[in-house]
Structure 1
Amino acid sequence: MSVSSDSTAGSTTSSAVVSTLRAAGCVFAEDEARLLLSTARTSHELDAMVGRRVAGHPLEHVLGWAEFRGLRVAVDAGVFVPRRRTEFLVTRAEALAPPGAVVVDLCCGSGALGAALVSALPGAELYAADIDPAAVRCARRNVAAAGGRVYEGDLYEPLPVALRGRVDILLANVPYVPTGEVEFLPAEARVHEARVALDGGADGLDVLRRVAAEAPAWLAPGGSLLFETSERQAPAATAIVAAAGLAPRVTACEELYATVVIATRR
């Protein structure tokens, strides 16, 4: 059913969108309606966007963007949607970054983390990488706007060799959902985001092991690797980075339900 028409008053259209979204189970129907109405350029586009949302597509994919730490970040269909809780990781990284920091964003997805961090760090250099071509295409738009570069490939493999031993802040928002638990994720993530951005292997820590193993060679003296994990996985995650020769500490934000491990090169 169409929720808009050229002859429908704005308030009526808004009410119709809210009702449609609420009937589909959208908890924040009013907020979502406001965003859809402000983004759609025509009534036909609005109908299409509402239809996709009702069908279960993530709101950010429908809008084509997500708000992350005050930035409007482009998010294409199929690309991992940056979570609000991950803003805590960026906040912790900002507190550690030296002037003119060299920042690398591994498993960058949309590039939201790196773009948000360097926007708060004058003179910082940003490099990002992801194995998913769709994510790389999306990240290039966001990272280019931040003055950085994006590379396609597996973890460190595509990065310039000249970065070895120079990285002050290594952001690695690695997938950490155990393979057996992916099927229990909300459909918005399970169906509409790339599995490579979610599945962390049998215990959820496989990608972290690979990142940690090479991190000391890429970090500058005193540089830090920062990654998000679950509270349950934190002890095993800290053991992994400690075994790689880094000094870990765990920090958490109860408000955002975020757990971040900071592992520093001694």
Structure 2
Amino acid sequence: MNRGIASLGMYDHPAQHAANDRLWGEIARRLDARGIRARRRLDRSRSVEAIWRAPDLLFAQTCGYPLVSDPDLALRVIGVPVYDVPGCASGEHVSHIVVRSDDPAATLDAFRDRRAAINSRRSNSGHNLFRATVAPLARDGRFFAAVIETGSHRASVDAVRRGRADIAAIDAVTFAALRRFEPAAIAGLRILANTAASPTLPFVTARSTSIATVAALRIALAEAVADPSLADVRAALFLADVIPAGEDRYARVRALENDAVAAGYPVLQ
């Protein structure tokens, strides 16, 4: 096959670039040994959204919400990562609802008519899980006075810290990376609550990828996760294991959306 592209852009803090590069390099080497040609360099030249739609996509990680809600996103799940992070276990993850440490509000209900930040309305961790948590508290389809869309979890953290917003839902793995590699970014913030859990961000390939190549990807990924020589790489990425899975595992992500709609809160606002 042609040399397919690869991306690990969902959890790719600058301090994790070397670990992601090495992880993919080891996966690509194993694929090559099975006759599957793969580009050795991760693609950081374009957005993850563009990469998900690339016809020559071989390997990437995607958000679970567009996976189940965007009919034009033609992806096949390879596996579900398990992260060694608080709030994450057995292929699940939560979002931390964060506020400023000096904000006296002690409950989520106390943030009614305050300002929220979300990374994207297409995000599971920043929007879908947040909406599901707020839905029981909403009145007439509203809860916040305003919702700003920042473009990234890192920007949402900054918006809360600088006072442009009062509250945000931050993916637990992203928050762990900031805590380890960039603690100043979350200085002055505290975790108010956690959202419900949902499946972690899946490793995927294009739906057009052959079944034989999908099988080889799963084997190569499993070998890399079990390789003792890559222990430091996995530690840098908080990656503990990968569970084989398919798209059906993400039905719960869509169910959270449906529950919010049924509660009269289809839009986080």
Instruction: Give yes or no for TM over 0.5.
Output: no
Higher relative contact order (CA 8 A, sep 6+): 2
TM-score for both structures, normalised by structure 1: 0.28
> Normalized against structure 2, the TM-score is what?
0.27
